[in-house]
Chains A and B, each alone.
Chain A
Amino acid sequence: MKVTAQDVKYIAQLSRLIVPEADLEKSTEEFNQILNYADILQKIDTTGIEPTPYVLPISNALRKDVAKEGVTHEEALLNAPEVYNDGFKVPRVIE
């Protein structure tokens, strides 16, 4: 199932990645090669076959609702690219 350059732009936006206009044609071609590779799977008869998202026979992994110590405030901020007061600083979100 081929995609267009317009589709690749949209996918890049969903992925929070940038495909520069100059590379768009090449990237679309590359992307279609990958789809072509994956499309072989369409030829396999999977009628009545259940999907396997996980291999383990575990359904719910529950534990007792007891509070445990987590990551501290200081630890959480340790690797932050920018800190403001007591939190992560980011560029403006709302214009």
Chain B
Amino acid sequence: MDLFKYTAHELHEKLVNKEITAVELVNSVYARIDEVEEQANAYISMSKEEALAQAEKVDAKIAAGEAIAPLAGIPVVFKDNINIAGQVTSCASKMLDGVSAIFDAHATENLRKEDAVFLGKANMAEFSIGNTTDNSFFGAAHNPWNLDCVTGGCATAAAVAAGEAIWALASDTSGDLRQPAAYAGCVGIKPTYGRVSRLGLAAYASSMDQIGAVTKDVTDAATVLNAICGKDDRDSTSWAVETPDFTQALVADVKGLRIGVPKEYFGENVDAKIKAEVEKAIEQYKELGAEIVEVSLPHTQYAVRTFYVIANGEAGANFARYDGVRYGYRNMEAQSASDMTARSRNEGFGEEVKLRLLFGTHVLSKGYYENYYVRAMKVRTLIRNDFEEAFKQCDVLLTPTTPVLAEAYNTEMDAFAKYELDFTTVTANLAGLPAITVPCGMVDGMPVGMQLIGKVLDEATILKAAYTFEQATDFHKAMAPLGGNK
């Protein structure tokens, strides 16, 4: 039985009804990995032994008649910047190759309590910097819809779409969870900043990094949020708010829901074919009884630049920890401590990362701090204010998740044009808002995602709107063909 094809909630039913065992399930997924991983390169490392032990524990509980958690026995892949104690967290960088995590991330602890089964770690852009995986120390990952194409900023969604995992735990700083999900035809949710503890997530841009889930449908997304959200004293930005039962939002009903459509997300910089698919989704929402409101978020055009200054500034400070002293890559020939640090960093980081760190250091340095970093933080306020104004007229915002389809690896693109591709997703990070992507169409054999952005802490409304659309359509059921030549 090809168990890797099912969703987490379907598999939970099968486990509870004793149709399958957790060991059969994890073996089915690893068999699929054996079959397709050579083409996909979605994984950096695997932990089959630990996974089997976790699965056996779940089977024992079921055999003993104990109740199991919704994610118990369900195989999950982690983006390789989230700690699993005893396993390597490489961030796809030479700098951290072989560095073993000495503690679990808070989200990992929570998933252990659920008895989830940890498959291994997924490929990603080096330290999440960049919106494709070409700079991964472990080689680029390939999109299962067309192996010639990119997966986006990490390979978690590619792994899920290829059947190499049932769902994925990932992080989102600029859209690097939602964009790969859209490129692979998956659902991806980034909760409100502060909902999930960042403890054990390798820091990139601390004021925007947030852990979320990549799943096959909206029900699974809500189920994962239930497991991973909650206050953690060890992250000072973990928000002490109540975690509702997100599955309560899984109701197919958008009657009277006011959906805001921001015109800045439907301009000339968005592929006309993608716009057409998202516009069809808007029509569908109208038929389902939602009210469509045109809104404006005028500072959207500055969002990526604002992000670039803030994120690289934060990275410049965060990455000071990679000094070759306590862990990570070290140049062994240097004769002095300062030379050792400089040479280790120079050899351990990839070119794009180094360029960003130079820029990040510059914008925080004396004489430039006010003009760049503080100014960007002020523009960030303007971007937040745009959302606040828009949410006076609507309950959720609907946009394309990405302005283009997953591009072929050989596409020539100017570096700044590539940065700007993040404009549709990065605004939710700058404003700390929850956002979800759901598949809403196919163009040229590639999936198209639409994004729903909610008010702060209002994951329920975006889940409800996404669920309603999903129940009325079949896009989430499509299987990736693993076609193309790579």
Contacts and interface: CB of A to CB of B under 8 A. Distances in A.
A57 to B, nearest CB: 9
B468 to A, nearest CB: 28
Contacts of B309: 38, 41
B100 A37 contact: no
A51 B385 CA distance: 12
Contacts of A40: 302, 305
A85 interface: no
Contacts of B160: none
B248 to A, nearest CB: 24
Interface string B349-376: 1000011011111110100100110111
Contacts of B372: 38, 41
Contacts of A90: 325, 337, 340
A15 B340 CA distance: 13
Interface residues of B, number: 72
Contacts of A61: 236-238
Tell which of A16, A51, A61 has the most Cβ of chain B within 10 Å.
A16
Contacts of B455: none
B159 interface: no
A83 B362 CA distance: 34
A55 B193 contact: yes
A17 B379 contact: no
Given A41-B379, A42-B371, A92-B335, A17 B354 contact: yes
Contacts of A16: 320, 323, 338, 341-342, 345
Interface residues of A, number: 48
Interface in B267-321: 299, 302, 305-306, 308-309, 316, 320
B73 to A, nearest CB: 29
B193 A76 contact: no
A15 B327 contact: no
A93 B371 contact: no
A44 B362 contact: no
Given A37-B305, A38-B308, 20 more contacts: A1-B368, A15-B316, A15-B345, A16-B323, A16-B342, A37-B419, A40-B302, A41-B375, A44-B299, A44-B382, A49-B378, A49-B382, A50-B378, A54-B207, A55-B384, A61-B237, A75-B103, A76-B102, A79-B328, A80-B327
Interface of A: 1, 3, 8, 11-12, 14-19, 27, 30-31, 33-34, 37-38, 40-42, 44, 46, 49-56, 58, 61, 63, 71, 75-76, 78-82, 88, 90-93, 95
